């Protein structure tokens, strides 16, 4: 217990040192002011009217939504998070892109001020990541404190994750046009819609039923089985035992059963997941767990803590790189107000979800995801949305 | 930039903590430490209220996750890989629910940080503190994060002396003991031997 506390304090101290070093790096301050100054002045689309009321991030004439709507949208996001799951992150992005009108506002600067256009893109994805990623930090620490961590595997994932979470902001900050970003966001929405849809199909339902039946059958048989021979007990007593370390294959036994994986997978998986998370502006935790259980085939006990470490490391890297190496500004008040809404929604979700069957919730979100996905894909890549209101 | 009406009300109260000694550096550190502590205390209160509100449902999801995870480990012990995969999949689903519930719930802890930073942005935007012997400087966000971490470490030592938080701790302790019921890779190991030391 004492060792664990020391480890946590050590981790926090390391985090503080890293934060200090990163935060202390000479940032390119005043980037937003510079972008505003370079934008042609006037009244109309793509122009800055210095006399207009300040809106998003204090930009004169930028969209400004009444604070109650931020809370209401946050409640919607929080409700989805606590009742359906990963789709909440998507909805956080939809709020910034569409509901609060930031994308349409930013797109107007495509020709008149590309710098401001791209700065708004980066701010939107960093804001998304703050909402989802910072919250993931809290839950990651909780799982870590429960001791569910296998360090070497976590390091493989985090190693790839740091690279992805650092490279994406460095390579893409200030370069991604808002239209393109919206198009890519649409692709991710489609991917989530597909997963949700699969879970509602008879095949998806059948696989869950089959898993339940297999688990119950084992449970029934297992209760009857009480004797275990000594040799097997000795084998179990070894816990996680790595039998073979190799560049292409690591073999380990866990409770006497043999598992193997190619170490390149956690590194590659960590890299890809962190890169997608940083590019779109999401936390990434929802991708690590299925990746480790389904692709790498690891036990849940190992997966929970390991994915927590990976989320923690890649999220810190990405947000800090965006904000302090690439000087991307964010609207703290907007994020704070949305978080109030998410907190309220997270309480309402569990209270209301018992009245709506899980499968119908998923069906509802499949329809919503297809609508949003088609809307963003066409808006991003064709220049106009075929779906009204997007 | 013009201050939001909400902050115009709070500003005279908050800025007082930045004028206590007359030494700019010390005042900034004291004021930010007080601000960070306020953000921490408000966050602790709101997350505890949110936690109490969803406790029932949270217990159910955690129990489901615990059950299938233990079952998957039992299947491993028995060498039944098919049952292991099945239980692992169900544990994954239950864990996912619990994971996202926690993510949403943690917003109740984090929101005051952003309100504090937004106020600091009005007051201290562009302010840089030179770090001695490095040639680097630290902005207000950096100072706030470091002092927030310090306030967290101090606060954790005294918070449970307050009756309300003592009650919350008692509930959380029951969770910890229940987490102990989770079968772990360390379960069958001899005393002193930790998993991962292979």
Could you tell me if residue A389 is inside a domain? no
Residue A148 domain-assigned (yes or no): yes
Helix (H, G, I), strand (E, B) or coil at A85: coil
DSSP collapsed to 3 states, B14-65: HHHCCCCCCCHHHHHHHHHHHHHHHHHHHHHHHHHHHHHHHHHHHHHHHHHH
Range in A35-44, A338-347, B100-109 with the lowest mean pLDDT: B100-109
Which of B71, B105, B107 best probes binding to A when mutated, by most A CB atoms within 10 angstroms?
A: B107
Band (pLDDT 50/70/90 cuts) for residue A144 is low
Q: What phi and psi values does residue A92 have, to the nearest 5 degrees?
A: -60, -45
Mean pLDDT of A299-321: 68
- Mean pLDDT over B4-18 rounds to 89
Report yes or no: B156 at the A interface, CB cutoff 8 Å.
no
Residues sharing a CB contact under 8 Å with residue A304, sequence separation 6 or more, in sequence order: A143, A146, A148, A289, B95
Mean pLDDT (whole number) for B125-142: 75
ipTM over the 0.90 cut-off: no
Confidence of residue A238 (pLDDT cuts 50, 70, 90): very low
Q: What is the pLDDT of residues A189-215, one digit of tens each?
A: 887 788 778 777 887 777 677 777 777
- Mean pLDDT of the region B81-109: 76
Q: Does B175 touch chain A (CB under 8 A)?
A: no
Residues of B in contact with A256 (CB under 8 A): 76-77, 79
Take residue B57 and report the two structure tokens written for it: 């449902």
**C-beta of residue A258 within 8 angstroms of C-beta of residue A251:** yes
Q: Which chain A residue lies closest to B85 (C-alpha atoms)?
A: A211
CA distance A86 to A265: 23
Tell me what pLDDT residue A28 has.
41
Looking at residue A329, the DSSP 8-state letter turns out to be -
Residue-wise pLDDT for B48-80, tens only, equals: 888 888 888 778 877 877 788 778 777 877 777
Q: Which residues of B touch A87 (CB under 8 A)?
A: none
**Within-domain flag for A263:** yes
Q: Is B127 exposed, middle or buried (0-12, 13-18, 19+ CB in 10 A)?
A: middle
Minimal C-alpha gap between B32 and chain A (Å): 16
In a domain, A177, yes or no: yes
* Span B173-197, pLDDT tens digits: 665 555 445 454 334 333 343 333 3
CA-based angle A133:A99:B3, to the nearest 5?
75
B146 touches chain A (CB under 8 A): yes
Contact residues, A window 117-136, toward B, CB-based 8 Å cutoff: 131-132, 134-136
For helices A114-129 and A31-38, the axis angle rounded to 10 degrees is: 150
Q: What is the pLDDT of residues A244-300, one digit of tens each?
A: 777 777 776 665 666 677 778 888 888 888 888 778 776 666 677 677 766 666 665
Is A272 contained in some domain?
Answer: yes
pLDDT band at A318 (very low <50, low <70, confident <90, very high): confident
Of B72, B104, B190, the CB nearest to A345: B104
The whole-number average pLDDT for the span A167-171 is 82
Per-domain boundaries in chain B:
5-10+19-180
Structure tokens at B23: 């030494």
Cβ contact A332–B100 (<8 Å): no
The answer to the question of residue A87 being in a domain is yes
What is the average pLDDT value for chain B, to the nearest integer?
Answer: 78
Residue whose entry in the numeric block shows the structure tokens 């990405």 = A318
Residues B136, A12: C-beta atoms closer than 8 Å: no
Percent of chain A's residues with pLDDT above 70: 69
Is the per-residue pLDDT at A133 higher than 70? no
Within-domain flag for A8:
no
Question: Tokens 């107000």 sit at which residue?
Answer: A337
Region of residue A149 (left: phi > 0; alpha: psi -120 to 50; beta: else): beta
* pLDDT score recorded for residue A119: 86
Give the pLDDT confidence score for residue A20 in this predicted structure: 44
Which residues in chain B have their CB less than 8 angstroms from residue A19's CB?
142, 145-146
- Residue A365 falls inside a structural domain: yes
* Number of domains forming the structure of chain A: 1
CA gap A158, A270 in Å, rounded: 6
Look up the pTM and report it.
0.72
Length of chain B (residues) = 198
Q: For an interface test with A, which of B46, B80, B114 has the most A Cβ atoms less than 10 Å from its Cβ?
A: B114
Tokens 């008879």 locate to A202
Q: What is the mean pLDDT of residues A300-328?
A: 69
Element (H, E) at B80: none
Read off the tokens for A182. Answer: 């919206």
* B33-57 average pLDDT score: 89
Say how far apart CA A318 and CA A322 lie, in whole Å: 6
Report percent pLDDT > 90 for chain B.
21
Domain span at residue A328? 66-214+237-381
3-state DSSP assignment of residue B128: coil
B41 touching chain A per CB within 8 A: no
Q: How far apart are CA A215 and CA A225, in angstroms?
A: 15
Nearest to B141 among A15, A23, A239 (CB): A23
How many residues does the structure list for chain A? Answer: 390
Cα–Cα distance between A238 and B189 in angstroms, integer? 7
Average pLDDT across chain A, whole number: 74
Question: What is the pLDDT averaged over residues B120-146?
Answer: 80
What pLDDT, in 10s, does the model give residues A338-382? 888 988 888 888 777 767 777 787 788 888 888 888 888 888 888
């Amino acid at each position: 217990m004492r060792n664990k506390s020391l480890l946590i304090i050590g981790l926090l101290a390391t985090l503080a040192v890293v934060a200090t070093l990163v935060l202390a790096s000479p940032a390119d301050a005043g980037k937003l002011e510079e972008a505003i100054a370079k934008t042609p002045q006037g009244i109309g689309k793509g122009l800055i009217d210095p006399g207009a009321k300040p809106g998003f991030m204090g930009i004169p004439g930028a969209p400004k939504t009444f604070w109650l709507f931020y809370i209401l949208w946050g409640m919607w996001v929080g409700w989805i998070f606590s009742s359906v799951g990963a789709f909440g992150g998507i909805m956080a992005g939809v709020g910034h892109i569409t509901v609060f009108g930031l994308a349409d506002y930013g797109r107007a600067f495509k020709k008149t001020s590309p710098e401001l256009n791209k700065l708004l893109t980066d701010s939107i994805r960093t804001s998304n990541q703050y909402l989802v990623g910072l919250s993931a930090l809290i839950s990651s620490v909780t799982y870590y404190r429960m001791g569910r961590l296998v360090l070497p595997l976590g390091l493989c994932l985090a190693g790839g994750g740091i690279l992805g979470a650092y490279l994406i902001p460095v390579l893409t900050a200030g370069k991604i046009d808002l239209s393109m970003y919206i198009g890519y966001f649409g692709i991710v929405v489609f991917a989530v819609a597909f997963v949700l849809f699969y879970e509602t199909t008879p095949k998806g339902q059948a696989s869950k039923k089959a898993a339940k039946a297999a688990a119950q059958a084992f449970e029934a048989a297992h209760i009857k089985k009480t004797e275990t021979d000594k040799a097997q007990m000795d084998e179990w007593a070894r816990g996680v035992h790595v039998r073979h370390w190799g560049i292409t294959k690591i073999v380990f036994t866990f409770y006497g059963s043999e598992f193997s994986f190619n170490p390149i997978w956690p590194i590659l998986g960590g890299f890809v997941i962190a890169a997608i998370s940083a590019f779109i502006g999401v936390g990434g935790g929802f991708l690590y767990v299925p990746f480790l259980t389904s692709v790498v085939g690891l036990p849940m006990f190992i997966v929970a803590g390991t994915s927590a470490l990976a989320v923690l490391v890649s999220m810190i890297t990405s947000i800090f790189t965006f904000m302090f190496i690439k000087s991307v500004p964010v609207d703290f008040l907007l994020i704070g107000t949305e978080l109030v809404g998410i907190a309220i929604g997270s309480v309402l979700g569990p209270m209301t979800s018992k009245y709506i069957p899980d499968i119908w919730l998923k069906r509802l979100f499949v329809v919503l995801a297809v609508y949003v996905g088609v809307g963003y894909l066409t808006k991003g890549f064709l220049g106009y949305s075929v779906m009204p209101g997007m | 930039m013009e201050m939001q009406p909400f902050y115009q009300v709070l500003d005279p109260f908050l800025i007082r903590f930045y004028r206590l000694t007359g030494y700019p550096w010390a005042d900034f550190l004291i004021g930010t430490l007080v601000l960070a502590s306020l953000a921490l205390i408000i966050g602790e209160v709101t997350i505890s209220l949110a936690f109490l509100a969803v406790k029932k449902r949270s217990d159910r999801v955690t129990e489901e996750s615990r059950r299938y995870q233990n079952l998957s480990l039992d299947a491993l012990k028995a060498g039944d890989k098919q049952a292991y995969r099945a239980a692992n999949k169900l544990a994954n689903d239950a864990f996912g629910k619990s994971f996202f519930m926690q993510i949403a719930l943690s917003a109740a802890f984090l929101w005051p940080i952003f309100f504090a930073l937004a106020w600091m942005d009005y007051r201290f935007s562009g302010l840089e503190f030179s770090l001695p012997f490095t040639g680097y400087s630290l902005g207000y966000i950096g100072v706030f994060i470091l002092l927030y971490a310090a306030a967290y470490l101090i606060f954790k030592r005294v918070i449970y002396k307050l009756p309300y938080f003592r009650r919350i701790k008692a509930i959380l302790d029951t969770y910890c003991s229940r987490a102990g019921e989770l079968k772990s890779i360390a379960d069958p190991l001899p005393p002193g031997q930790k998993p991962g030391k292979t």
